[in-house]
A = this chain, B = another copy of it.
């Protein structure tokens, strides 16, 4: 029995291309005790995957060359030698990019599709929602009445951050890159203001105008000049959870920018890089809140679902062109 896999073929210099991936057909070995055979249903593609393509010191080990790519996958059990799983079970795990996957029972957990559709476990009830929750609530520590700015606001984490900040009584300003996204943020997701950085010549002034009381929390998904413009408007005792720096991921050398530490110093600002997996003790509390808010209709979720296992590399590359609104997922 064979299956198709997508391997990491070459480390990109700058923006990744299709050259960095290779499709292969492999023989599946025999199922061992405590293993299951899965049919992949939904595959997550995420910005963090770009930094794993570099052979650099980072919070997660880099992807290994000539090994399959891996990420969050929702799958159906089609054969089981585990007492914990039976054929037909829907499961979630960090798994290789293969159409069919053999894995140990230790690597997967069952999901409950009564609470939410299966794909939500790759998003709002998974790492996406928890990233927003941990960064905003535990690092940002929002107080009602404060001003929260989110960059990459129309991304999966961004829309969750904005809505949670609204639930907690904050004024919320989103930054995104198309008029369509701006409209969506304001009309569908209830942001107080949203700014299209691609059509706004002076972001610093635009943020000042949108934030008359300055910025108390800046949830940073993008880095670069957009972040500079926000930090020029940062308030005393502000908090900056650093969640992503997508503007910089594809740089081949360290890009230059203004030295903003003097602002961080004189305004007593906190900047905290974080990775959600360091905050596992908060996950149960986070999932409980997220599921409750989803159930109440206060926390909406959007997915860009691309059809076809073969589209995985394209979908990942699309993240860096802003092709997604909300969580980007590939459906096999």
Point out residues on A near B: beta carbons under 8 Å: 51, 56-59, 220, 223-224, 227, 236-237, 242-245, 248-249, 254-275, 278
Separation of A259 and B225 alpha carbons in the complex (Å)? 10
A260 to chain B, nearest CB (A): 8
Tell whether, in the assembled complex, residue A57 and residue B262 are in contact, meaning their CB atoms are under 8 Å apart: no
Separation of A237 and B261 alpha carbons in the complex (Å)? 19
Tell whether, in the assembled complex, residue B265 and residue A245 are in contact, meaning their CB atoms are under 8 Å apart: yes
Tell whether, in the assembled complex, residue A268 and residue B261 are in contact, meaning their CB atoms are under 8 Å apart: no
Tell whether, in the assembled complex, residue A236 and residue B59 are in contact, meaning their CB atoms are under 8 Å apart: yes
Residues from chain B with Cβ under 8 Å of A263 in the complex: 273
Tell whether, in the assembled complex, residue B223 and residue A266 are in contact, meaning their CB atoms are under 8 Å apart: no
Residues from chain B with Cβ under 8 Å of A275 in the complex: 268
Q: A58-B267, A245-B259, A248-B261 are in contact. List 19 more A-B contacts (CB 8 A).
A: A57-B266, A58-B266, A59-B267, A223-B262, A245-B261, A245-B262, A248-B262, A254-B260, A256-B258, A257-B258, A257-B259, A261-B271, A261-B273, A263-B273, A265-B273, A266-B273, A268-B272, A268-B278, A270-B270
A56 to chain B, nearest CB (A): 7
What residue in chain B is nearest A263 (Cβ atoms)? B273
A218 to chain B, nearest CB (A): 11
14 residue pairs from A and B, CB less than 8 Å apart: A59-B236, A220-B261, A223-B262, A245-B261, A245-B262, A248-B259, A248-B262, A254-B259, A255-B258, A264-B272, A264-B273, A265-B273, A268-B272, A270-B270
Tell whether, in the assembled complex, residue A274 and residue B268 are in contact, meaning their CB atoms are under 8 Å apart: yes
Residues from chain B with Cβ under 8 Å of A269 in the complex: 272-273
A180 to chain B, nearest CB (A): 28
Separation of A231 and B220 alpha carbons in the complex (Å)? 20
Separation of A266 and B55 alpha carbons in the complex (Å)? 13
Separation of A270 and B260 alpha carbons in the complex (Å)? 15
Residues from chain B with Cβ under 8 Å of A243 in the complex: 265
What residue in chain B is nearest A224 (Cβ atoms)? B259
**A264, A265, A271 — most chain B CB neighbours (10 Å):** A265
Separation of A265 and B274 alpha carbons in the complex (Å)? 6
A308 to chain B, nearest CB (A): 31
A227 to chain B, nearest CB (A): 7
Separation of A236 and B264 alpha carbons in the complex (Å)? 21
Residues from chain B with Cβ under 8 Å of A236 in the complex: 59
Tell whether, in the assembled complex, residue B261 and residue A254 are in contact, meaning their CB atoms are under 8 Å apart: no
Residues from chain B with Cβ under 8 Å of A270 in the complex: 270-273
What residue in chain B is nearest A239 (Cβ atoms)? B272
Tell whether, in the assembled complex, residue A266 and residue B227 are in contact, meaning their CB atoms are under 8 Å apart: no
Separation of A223 and B244 alpha carbons in the complex (Å)? 23
Separation of A262 and B256 alpha carbons in the complex (Å)? 12
